[in-house]
Amino acid sequence: MTETISPAESQAAQPPRLPRPETDAAALRAIADHETLIALHEMAKQQLDILNAQDRVLSMLDTFASKDMPGRQREIQDCVDKILAKVDPATAGS
């Protein structure tokens, strides 16, 4: 006995179904969680910007320090000591 095999009836592709919150409270929590993640992402981007700026400043300071003329650091330190002496005599010369 010969049997004909027919292909299974194809169903149209369904888009993925996301679980819907069961309550309004769950929906509100999901929204709050999403907003928190967005805020954390923005803070991380700002932190990276700050760190990159700090790297640039440190690089400039390193360049300045490596090309410092002899005696210039002593002159700067003397100036700092004078300022500290006027602001707080207890910390001057430390």
Report DSSP letters for the chain, one per residue: ---PPPPPPP-PPPPPPPPPPSSHHHHHHHHHHHHHHHHHHHHHHHHHHHHHHHHHHHHHHHHHHHTPPTTHHHHHHHHHHHHHHHH-GGGTT-
Non-local CB neighbours of 91 within 8 Å, separated by 6+ positions: 84
Q: For the chain, what are the domain ranges?
A: 27-91
- The closest alpha carbon to 41, from 33, 53, 29, belongs to 33
Q: What pTM does this model have?
A: 0.44
List, for residues 20-47, the tens digit of each pLDDT value.
Answer: 767 888 888 989 999 999 999 999 999 9
Instruction: Specify the pLDDT at position 74.
Output: 79
